[in-house]
Structure 1
Amino acid sequence: MSRSKKARSGGNGDVVVVRNRSQSDVEGRLRKKDKKRKGLKTGNRHSDAQSEQQHSAGQKRDPRLGSKKKIPLIVEAAKKPTKVERRISAEKELEVLENDAQLNVLLDRLDNGDKLGVGLQKYVDEKLARIEVLMRQLGIYQEESQDEVEPEVVVPAAAKKPSKKADSDEALLSQFESLDLNQFKG
């Protein structure tokens, strides 16, 4: 951007001086101009006040008053769910437990003979116990039949703890000597 500026000289005539402004000169002037204007825009004082008044015209109430929401003075006791509602909620909980992916994976691992850690085993036990409680509550729990139950080890009467009558050392010794250890071999 060139600018022609006329300058006077001593006597012979007009001398024309051509001045080129580089980009850095223009940027420097703009920065200087911006530095001069540090305050708010002119006339801002009045325009802001009017717009604020328009917004607050609808809210001319006292801020100390607070909420107008009603507060109950008498607290009513929580309503106990009916038998039907409890049954429905138990059915939903049982369905969620039966569809639990993590529990199913862990049960499959147990069926395959893998050993679970203490935390995982505790998780499985808690969930299975809860499922059993819910099934009993809903009336769909079936006791294990005698075929599925492992046979209990029958302890002979002689191997039982001695009664309080045989407290003497001699009675205990005679009971130990009369014990047949071949009964316990498998």
Structure 2
Amino acid sequence: MKKPTSAAGAKRPTKAHRKTREELNQEARDRKRVKKHSGHSAGSRANGSSASGSTAQNSKQKDPRIGSKTPIPLGVTDTPVVKQHKPKSEKPMLSPQAELDMLENDERLDALLERLEAGEKLNAEEQKWVDAKLDRIDELMQQLGLSYEDDEDDEEEEKQDDMMRLLKGGN
């Protein structure tokens, strides 16, 4: 169980001496003075960076200037460089077949062609527009391998075949 303690072997701690108010105040002043001087020295960033910084940072000097360091020509240049962006075409690129279908179904073109067939004269601007559209239709038909002449030849051959059938068999 418990070991008996001998009274002769154990020393009692003596009663601690209470400090006076003056002693306490003096110790507080000393602590404050030590604490006040324990910080970094004034101006440590500008003056002595070698004590706190590593050698890698010290070897590479940073430029203290703020902003871009690229040189700007102050004199008048001989040739001013002006980039002009090409305006995008208003019409999206269509396949030749889609563009041909669009031109064949154009109401304005149909109306102007009907006026021409009726014998009316178009003004210069309308005539120029019609010619441009008809030229574009011809280009697209050549790209696609179509032509009006082939259609006419096929129709003539069909008429010839029909005539031959009528003459031969009488069907």
Instruction: Check whether TM > 0.5.
Output: no
Q: TM-score, normalised by structure 1?
A: 0.30
Q: Higher relative contact order by CA 8 Å / sep ≥ 6: 1 or 2?
A: 2
Q: Which has the higher strand share?
A: 1
Structure number with larger C-alpha Rg: 2
